[in-house]
Structure formats: C-alpha cells, structure tokens
Amino acid sequence: MYQIEHFTLCDGWINTSTDDNGEPVLFDTLEQAQDALESHWSDLQAEGMAESYSPSDWRVAEVYSSLCRCGKPDNLCNC
C-alpha cells in the first residue's frame, strides 16, 4: 500500500488526503499513487495555485504493516 504525503511544518510528512468517510486515502500500487500525485499537481497548476507550493512538498511513501497500540498503521498514527 502507498500514500501521498505532504510536508507540513508542524507534523513533518503526513497523509493529508482523506476519502468521503474521513479515512486516509491509500493506493494499492506505487503507480496508482504516482498517477494520483501527478494529477493533484496538474490540478494545482490549472487552478493557479502551483506557485504557492513546490513539487518537493509532496511524496509517495509506502505504508508499512506495523500497527500502533491504537490499531492504526504506525505512519498514520498521531498517538
């Protein structure tokens, strides 16, 4: 599984993308995540918002299978 992460000053690299239920958006393959990130960047450019960001503000990261004590994947948990 893969996710798109955005770098934030307060929390570092986090998945800021959620679905309609508020769950983090995850992708089955690296290619799907990369395609989604490219699409997101294209949308920012089309909306004239790309100059406020850098492509290096986002990355695709693998979601590991280890779980936090709360039951969420370690890299998605803020405990």
Domain positions in the chain are 2-69
- pLDDT by residue (tens digit) across 28-57? 899 999 999 999 889 888 988 877 788 889
59 CB-side CA count, 13 A: 10
Please give the structure tokens belonging to residue 77.
Answer: 């948990």
Q: What is the overall mean pLDDT for the chain?
A: 86
The whole model's pTM is what?
A: 0.71
At 14, which helix (H) or strand (E)? strand 12-14
**Burial of residue 44, with CB atoms counted within 10 A of its CB: 0-12 exposed, 13-18 middle, 19 or more buried:** middle
Structure tokens at 75: 């890299």
